[in-house]
Structure formats: C-alpha cells, structure tokens
C-alpha cells in the first residue's frame, strides 16, 4: 500500500482551501433580522394596576371548591382526544431531535453480496487472464461514513429541532389550558343558566299572583275581561321562557359531555353547579416580563422564533463544502470458498469534499426563505405577547367595572321591587290601573335577570383571568 505523503497532499488541501474561500465569497449579503420587542417596551403600569395576587396553580379549578367541576376536569384531562393528539405531536417533535442528532454521528453498515458472474473475453484483457465461464463472487464489508460538521450545519439543525420540540411541549400545555378553561367556562355558563332559571321560575309565580289578583277584581266588577285576559297571558309566557332556559341547560350539559370526551348521556348526570368560591381580584407582580414564561402560547412562539433563527444558520452553512470521512473494511474474492482466505481482505479510508458551485440560485433562495421565516416567527412572537397583554387588560377592565355595576344593579332592583309593591297596593286600592302594575312587574323581572347575570359573571371573569395568565404553566 502506498504510504501517505504530505507533499502529495499539499495540492489537494490548497485546492480545498481555495474552494472554501470561494464558498465564503458566494454568500449573499446578510439581511437585517427583525428583533423581538422587549417586554419593558409595553406600557402597562396604569392599565394593569391592581392588588397583588399569586399566579394560578396548576390545578387552578380546585380553588372553586366544586367537586363536580373537579371530576369533569380530571375526566377530560385523562380521556381527551385533543390532548392525545397534542401529546402525539410532541412525541413526533422529540423524535425529530434524535433524528437531527444522528446526522452528527458516524454511520456504520454491513453489506454482503454473492452472485454468479461471467466476464467478457473481448473487454481488452487477454482471454488467458479472464476466468472461464460463470464463477461465484462474494463481498462482505463494513462501510462507514462520518460527516465532519466544521461549519455547524448539523448543530444548527439539532438546535432548530430542539427548539421546535420545546414549542410542541408548550403547544401541549396550551391544549391542556384551552380544554380546562373551556370546561370551566361552560360550567360557569351552566351556573348562569340555572340562576336565570330561578328568575324565570319567580316570574311564573309572580305573574300567576298578578293574574289571580286581576281575576278577583273582575269577579267583583272592578276590572274588565280585557285586563283579565292580558294578565292570564303572563304565566304561559313565563313558562315558555322557562322551557327555553331548560333547553339551553340541556345543550350546555351536552357540550360538557363532549368536552370530557364522553357521549351525551354523560351530560344527564351533571347537576346544578354549587355556589363557587371566588377569590378577590388581583394580578401577579412584574407583568408583562413574567408573562413571557407563563403563557404557553407565548412560550411556543418564542421557541419557534429560536428554531427559525437556527434554520437560518443551517441555510448559511449550506454554502460551505461538505467534508466527509468514509471508508470500508472487509473481504472480497472471485470464489466464495476463498472469501475468508488470506489475501481476500479489502479496505479503504479517506476524506471526501463536496462543494456547491452552481445551484441555479437554490441556496440563495433557501437562505432568503429561512430569513423570511425567522422574521415571521419573531413577528408572531411579538403578536402573541401583545395579544396576551390585551387579554389580561380586558379582564382587568371588566373586573374593575363588575363591582360597581353589580352594586348599581342591586340598588336598581331594590328600587324596582319597591315600585312594584307600591303599584300593586295602589291597584288593589283602586288608585291605579293594571298597566302600572304590568310595567312595574316587567321592570322587576328585567332587573332580576341583570343581577343574576352579573353575579354569574364573576365566575366567568375569574376563569378568563386564569386563561389570560397561562393557567399555572411554568415551562419557560
């Protein structure tokens, strides 16, 4: 075997160096990268001014003290198809990390072949030196290759795959948050519907009392048949409203059953929600900076921006030559019975260099595309953080308005009920008409609905705040 000669290698390495320099020169000018907006750039001091409170816990719904809600959440988290799909996507992303890492490791394979072969007698080799007829030929060898990642292309691919796997992990957390808050929000809607049903039931009794009063007055000759018929229409109308609410309750139960991944019969077992315990409104400290690591959708957007940045580095490294170390070792013989005989051994080892020279603009287009993807991912991250802050601000504004709205609504209800009491007394004393009773009655029922909705809204807003704050996620 010829010995390795540094002198013979000089021309090769000189040519390789020239090719590397040519590759560096072929890189297009770098495009200015979009920079993510810093959290302190978002002005929130006035809008998010609120009492200090803790971040939501991981199982945040247990704080409401409703055993039925706890059971629904646990059931959904164990059997949801949505969560199963998100977890499968996470496993897929994690497998791509292992696949990317494998590109940086040596590859070894075993190859074996056996065949009957006949060589031509007219191929320029004297027939006396050509084996006669068909002969068996065999080869057994270990082949290996190793890509030497001098320019960081494989490392960038691993970094990108790792970031995308972390994004998929945040996506799975976001799916969990979306599902858990959807269940709680639907449960809060069920609570609101039951409160409205109480008002509708009160309306049936109230209008029945009014109808009975008018009937007595008609019997005593104090009112006409017209007032009696008008009053008699009140109870059926309220019963129709009651039936409509019962329908909405049934539909909401069906929605809860679907959310937990069960059939509609599961909804039949869902009873009226308990009176939940709502903690006083407050916000965690150091918003918006701390929100970056608490919202799974923002974290996922951040990791996708990191992945896109790594993909840009990978696209730049593609302009440089690929350098591989490859070879094989084994045995080969013309006759299979001599395959393992002395002298049948074969082997080869050496470097190989591949440099893109003319790609028709493919590499430049790939780099420009990677840079565009990077800028788009950074913009998406900025948008995700902006939307997250907007959701927190919306809940804050609604929470601040709720107490005053509820206090005013209760005062209005007390005034309307007092007015209705007076109207009935005046009507019974023949000092006013039935129309005044009817108007006062309608005002009372309307205001009772308003108060019931506002009292239920506290539950819904607390769930919205949990969702806006990331629901206990801490996977930054």
In the 3-class helix/strand/coil scheme, how is 388-430 assigned residue by residue? HHHHHHHHHHHHHHHHHHHHHHHHHHHHHHHHHHHHHHHHHCC
d(Cα 104, Cα 99) in Å, to the nearest integer? 10
∠ CA 103-104-110, rounded to 5°? 65
pTM over 0.95: no
Q: Among 107, 131, 232, 191, which residue's Cα sits nearest to residue 461?
A: 191
Determine the average pLDDT of the residues in 311-318.
Answer: 93
Question: Beta-carbon neighbour count of residue 467 at 10 Å?
Answer: 22
pLDDT at 354: 83
Element (H, E) at 282: none
Give residue 231's pLDDT band: very low, low, confident or very high (50, 70, 90). Answer: confident
All domains in the chain, ordered by first residue: 26-104+151-320+362-468 (1.20.1600.10), 107-148+321-354 (2.20.200.10)
Residue 236: CB partners within 8 Å, gap ≥ 6?
none
pLDDT digits (tens, 9 = 90+) for 4-29: 444 454 455 455 555 555 544 467 88
Q: Which residue has the tokens 């084996």?
A: 131
d(Cα 428, Cα 210) in Å, to the nearest integer? 11
Q: Among 442, 424, 444, which residue's Cα sits nearest to residue 434?
A: 424
pLDDT digits (tens, 9 = 90+) for 80-133: 888 999 999 999 999 999 999 898 899 999 999 999 888 888 888 888 888 888
Determine the average pLDDT of the residues in 42-56.
Answer: 92
Contact of 327 with 347, CB cutoff 8 Å: yes
d(Cα 60, Cα 49) in Å, to the nearest integer? 23
For 261, which DSSP code? T
For 52, which DSSP code? B
pLDDT > 70: percent of the chain: 93
Helix (H/G/I), strand (E/B), else coil: 329: strand
Phi then psi dihedrals of residue 328, to 5 deg: -155, 160
pLDDT at 22: 52
Q: Between 28 and 294, where is the model more confident?
A: 294
Contact of 104 with 147, CB cutoff 8 Å: yes
Contact of 97 with 161, CB cutoff 8 Å: yes
pLDDT of 161 > 90? The answer is yes
């Amino acid at each position: 075997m010829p010995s390795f000669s540094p002198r013979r290698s000089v021309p090769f390495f000189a040519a390789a160096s020239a090719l590397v320099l040519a590759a560096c020169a072929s890189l297009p000018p770098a495009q200015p990268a979009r920079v993510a907006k810093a959290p302190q750039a978002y002005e929130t001091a006035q809008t998010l001014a609120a009492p200090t409170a803790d971040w939501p816990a991981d199982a945040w719904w247990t704080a409401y003290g409703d055993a039925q809600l706890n059971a629904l959440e646990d059931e959904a988290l164990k059997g949801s198809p949505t969560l199963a799909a998100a977890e499968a996507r996470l496993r897929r992303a994690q497998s791509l990390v292992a696949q990317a890492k494998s590109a940086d490791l040596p590859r070894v394979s075993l190859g074996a072949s056996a065949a009957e072969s006949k060589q031509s007698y007219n191929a320029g080799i004297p027939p006396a030196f050509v084996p006669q007829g068909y002969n068996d030929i065999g080869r057994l060898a270990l082949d290996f290759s190793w890509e030497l990642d001098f320019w960081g292309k494989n490392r960038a691919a691993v970094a990108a795959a790792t970031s995308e796997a972390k994004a998929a992990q945040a996506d799975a957390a976001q799916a969990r948050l979306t599902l858990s808050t959807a269940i709680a929000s639907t449960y809060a809607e069920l609570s609101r519907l039951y409160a409205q049903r109480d008002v509708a039931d009160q309306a049936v009794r109230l209008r029945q009392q009014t109808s009975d009063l008018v009937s007595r007055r008609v019997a005593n000759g104090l009112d006409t048949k017209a007032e009696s018929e008008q009053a008699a229409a009140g109870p059926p109308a309220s019963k129709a409203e009651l039936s409509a609410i019962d329908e909405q309750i049934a539909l909401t139960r069906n929605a809860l059953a679907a959310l937990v991944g069960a059939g509609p019969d599961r909804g039949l077992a869902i009873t009226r929600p308990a009176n939940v315990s709502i903690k006083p409104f407050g916000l965690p400290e150091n918003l918006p900076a701390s929100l970056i690591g608490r919202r799974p959708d923002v974290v996922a957007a951040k990791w996708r921006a990191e992945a896109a940045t790594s993909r840009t580095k990978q696209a730049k490294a593609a302009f440089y030559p690929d350098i591989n170390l490859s070879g094989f070792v084994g045995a080969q013989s013309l006759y299979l019975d001599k395959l393992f005989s002395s002298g049948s051994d074969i082997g080869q080892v050496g470097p190989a260099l591949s440099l893109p020279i003319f790609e028709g603009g493919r590499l430049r287009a790939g780099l420009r595309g990677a840079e565009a993807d990077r800028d788009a991912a950074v913009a998406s991250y900025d948008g995700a953080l902006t939307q997250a802050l907007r959701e927190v601000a919306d809940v804050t504004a609604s929470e601040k308005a709720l107490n005053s709205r509820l206090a005013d609504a209760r005062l209005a209800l007390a005034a309307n009920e007092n007015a209705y009491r007076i109207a009935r007394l005046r009507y019974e004393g023949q000092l006013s008409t039935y129309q005044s009773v009817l108007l006062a009655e309608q005002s009372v029922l309307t205001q009772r609905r308003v108060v019931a909705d506002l009292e239920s809204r506290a539950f819904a807003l607390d769930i919205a705040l949990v969702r806006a704050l990331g629901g206990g996620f801490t996977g930054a």
